[in-house]
Amino acid sequence: MALSSPGIGSNLDVNSIVSQLMSIERQPLTALDRKEAGYQAKLSAYGTLKGALSSFQNSVRALSDVSKFQSVKATPADATVLGASASSIAVPGAYSVEVSKLAQSQKLAAVGQASTTSAIGIGTLTFDFGTISGGTFDAVTGKYTGAAFTSNGAGVKTVTIDASSNSLTGIRDAINSANIGVSAAIVNDGGTSPYRLALTSTSIGKTNSIKISVAGDAALSTLLAHDPAATQNLSETATAQNAEFKVDGVAVSKTSNSVSDVIQGVTLSLLKTNVGAPTVVTVARDTASVTTAVNAFVKAYNDVNKTLGDLSAYNATTQQAAILQGDSSVRSIQSQIRNTLTSTLAGIGGSYTTLSQIGVSFQTNGTLAVDSTKLQSAIGTNFNDIASLFAATGKATDSLVSYSSGTANTKPGAYALTVSQLATQGKVVGSAAAGLTIDGTNDTLSVIVDGVSATVTLAAGTYTAAALATEVQSKINGASAFATAGISVAVTQASGTMTLTSNRYGSASNASVAGNGAANLLGATPTATTGVDVAGTINGAAATGSGQYLTGATGIDAEGLKVLVSGGALGSRGTVNYSQGYAYKLDKQADSLLSSTGPISSRTDGINQTIKDIGNRREVLSRRMANVEKRYRAQFTALDTMISSMTRTSNFLSQQLSNLPKIS
């Protein structure tokens, strides 16, 4: 008969006995749990280390930007007259600025309409932009007499007015939606026909006055056709004008109030006139930003160094070791970073090759510190050379050669540069003077520039050679296919003979013209020439030319070094110095340390595998423990049954013996 409860037959606490026996049996499992907890703690520590290195990398990557160490600031004495900013190429100094005119856009207004929704007419509006010159302007009527209009060659733009947009409101919306450089609005002047269409050129300056040609219904033409040199159906309410000002007494005229090509490296934002009261713009090196950047670099290292130390330290007072104390990966990372910071940089064409030269040095406790006095002296002595200590930079000895970029494979060094061929632009040159009368028989040009084609139609009329060149350039550059591809041309003339030149350099630069107007424009046998790429050597090996750029060949120290050759003579062009600063090197070093094949990933992969193995061993042991407990319980059940049986037998015998007759 089975027992309903363990120990009931023997009065033994079987559950307690089995539990105590199993606690002994489970000691290997407890040991595995302790091991796993230790490995999990190491994983967490490596996660902390990885996060610290990632933060360190973000910091040094930001500091590998040359601009962080070459900042120049421009400060106007009167910020209400103008604003100013400067780039690293600006020359320190004080510049006097006197503003007599601010640049402004031309504004035009149409005659009033009784309704904004009534149909006016359909057709095509063609907008051209250029300069109004000569003649006289009547401020009352807003119209010119005897003036000339010269297109700026930037390209004409068209707007289609159809049945869905033939009202004043529709015309306004169609112009605005076309995004052609003109904004339109409707103004209510309060008159009997109060609604007037107002047009404003979105580009300021006198070269951006508006000319509008209309093809379509007469009512549309009557409203909007406007040629400053002929019929003017719009009135000018504001004249396009350039900004006019003086810099150190030199008169300057610009089409914009934001001017960046007057003082090298300085952008002026003109705000108001100050005739008779010049203001001074002071350009000075931003030494404070350099000091901030250097201190940020030092802090970034000290932060990651502290994390590395905390994770691997031994506390003699508490006699407690950090979780990664003695870890070889941590020691290796500390050593690699420190070795980078104590190395001498190669390839620098400046004065500084070590951090200690600008006052940054290691202390006895392993941290970096800044000697502010020494740093300020270095900034004052060789301001432009500090950037090369931190960023990847290049410097050419030839003024017409400029460093563009390097790659991870480019090694620091000074590389000799020779140029055997300068880059040229593709062009087509006419064989005879152009015909100056354009009509329906010679007004179409099928143009291919840099492999992109478009067809343009010239406006009919009789031109001067210069005006025809401007018309051709304007129509080509205004073609959407070219504008979308970022392609443009320059059309010039010499004694009436036209030359059309791609603005691109290199073997991909080309130009050709066909269509019924080709022969009239360029003669019967024009000459088309494809551009060529710059050619030469870097470090004695043939470099790859692309346009005006030369790039160092694969497999040499200068691999990937890219320079711009903008002109000059053939032959030796001096040297290009390329260096990789400490911030740049540490950024790349962090890439390696944090990569999937780096030491942290290798260690964490190993730990994860160990944890997985522990899990497998735990599963095997757990199954074994279940069998052991089952065996113990079976043995105690058998013992319980046997004792129960013996107890019953004993009780029976005792009962029988008690029933025997007693012998007196």
The Cα–Cα gap between 533 and 494 comes to 26
The tokens 């060094």 sit on which residue?
Answer: 413
Q: What is the pLDDT of residues 40-52, one digit of tens each?
A: 888 888 888 889 8
Task: Identify the pLDDT of residue 28.
Answer: 83
The Cα–Cα gap between 441 and 476 comes to 19
Residue range 106-131: mean pLDDT, rounded: 95
By CB neighbour count within 10 A (0-12 exposed, 13-18 middle, 19+ buried), where does 256 fall? middle
Residue range 280-302: mean pLDDT, rounded: 92
Asked whether residue 281 carries a pLDDT value surpassing 90, the answer given is yes
Contact 640, 3 (CB under 8 A): yes
Task: Single out the residue of 65, 68, 87 nearest to residue 391, CA to CA.
Answer: 65
The Cα–Cα gap between 449 and 510 comes to 6
Task: Identify the pLDDT of residue 24.
Answer: 83
Q: What is the pLDDT of residues 315-351, one digit of tens each?
A: 777 777 777 787 888 888 999 999 999 999 887 777 8
Q: Count of H helices and E strands in the chain?
A: 12, 40
State the average pLDDT for the chain.
Answer: 90
17 or 445, greater pLDDT: 445
The Cα–Cα gap between 8 and 28 comes to 32
DSSP string for 80-147: TTEEEEE-TTPPPEEEEEEEEE--B--EEEPPPBS-SSS----EEEEEEEEEEESSEEETTTTEEES-
Q: What is the pLDDT of residues 177-200, one digit of tens each?
A: 999 999 999 999 999 999 999 999
Asked whether residue 2 carries a pLDDT value surpassing 50, the answer given is no
Q: What is the pLDDT of residues 298-320, one digit of tens each?
A: 999 999 999 888 888 777 777 77
The type of residue at 39 is Y
Task: Identify the pLDDT of residue 199.
Answer: 97
Task: Identify the pLDDT of residue 8.
Answer: 60
For the chain, what percent of residues have pLDDT higher than 70? Answer: 98
Backbone CA torsion sign across 619, 622, 628, 631? negative
Measured from the Cβ of residue 198, the count of other Cβ atoms closer than 10 Å reads 16
381 or 563, greater pLDDT: 563
The Cα–Cα gap between 127 and 622 comes to 86
Contact 532, 557 (CB under 8 A): no
Asked whether residue 6 carries a pLDDT value surpassing 70, the answer given is no
425 or 26, greater pLDDT: 425
For the chain, what percent of residues have pLDDT higher than 90? Answer: 64
Task: Identify the pLDDT of residue 3.
Answer: 47
Can you say how many angstroms the Cα of residue 628 is from the centroid of all Cα atoms in its chain?
66
Task: Identify the pLDDT of residue 373.
Answer: 94
Asked whether residue 612 carries a pLDDT value surpassing 70, the answer given is yes
Task: Identify the pLDDT of residue 7.
Answer: 55
Asked whether residue 232 carries a pLDDT value surpassing 80, the answer given is yes
Task: Identify the pLDDT of residue 624.
Answer: 84
> Collapsing DSSP states into helix, strand and coil, what is residue 650?
helix
The tokens 């000339």 sit on which residue?
Answer: 148
416 or 619, greater pLDDT: 416
The hierarchical CATH code for the domain 425-529 is: 2.60.40
- Highest average pLDDT, of 220-229, 381-390, 455-464, comes from 220-229
CA angle 458-461-465, nearest 5°? 80
The Cα–Cα gap between 139 and 494 comes to 39
Asked whether residue 9 carries a pLDDT value surpassing 60, the answer given is no
- Where does 534-633 show beta strands of DSSP type E? 535-538, 541-542, 544-546, 549-551, 562-565, 571-580
The Cα–Cα gap between 358 and 368 comes to 13
Contact 182, 202 (CB under 8 A): yes
Structure tokens at 36: 């796993």
The type of residue at 632 is Y
Contact 236, 138 (CB under 8 A): no
Can you say how many angstroms the Cα of residue 635 is from the centroid of all Cα atoms in its chain?
77
- Dihedral Cα 293, 297, 299, 301, nearest 10 deg: 180
Measured from the Cβ of residue 290, the count of other Cβ atoms closer than 10 Å reads 23
Q: What is the pLDDT of residues 505-559, one digit of tens each?
A: 999 999 999 999 999 999 999 999 999 999 999 999 999 999 999 999 999 999 9
The Cα–Cα gap between 199 and 176 comes to 10
> Collapsing DSSP states into helix, strand and coil, what is residue 510?
coil
The tokens 């930007």 sit on which residue?
Answer: 65
Task: Identify the pLDDT of residue 664.
Answer: 59
Residue range 603-614: mean pLDDT, rounded: 86
CA angle 221-224-225, nearest 5°? 60
Q: Which helix (H) or strand (E) holds 462?
A: strand 461-462
Contact 130, 227 (CB under 8 A): no
Task: Identify the pLDDT of residue 224.
Answer: 97
Task: Identify the pLDDT of residue 1.
Answer: 42
SS (H, E, C) 256-318: CCEECCCCCCEEEEECCCCCCCCEEEEEEECHHHHHHHHHHHHHHHHHHHHHHHHHHCEECCC
The Cα–Cα gap between 418 and 537 comes to 5
Residue range 412-416: mean pLDDT, rounded: 93
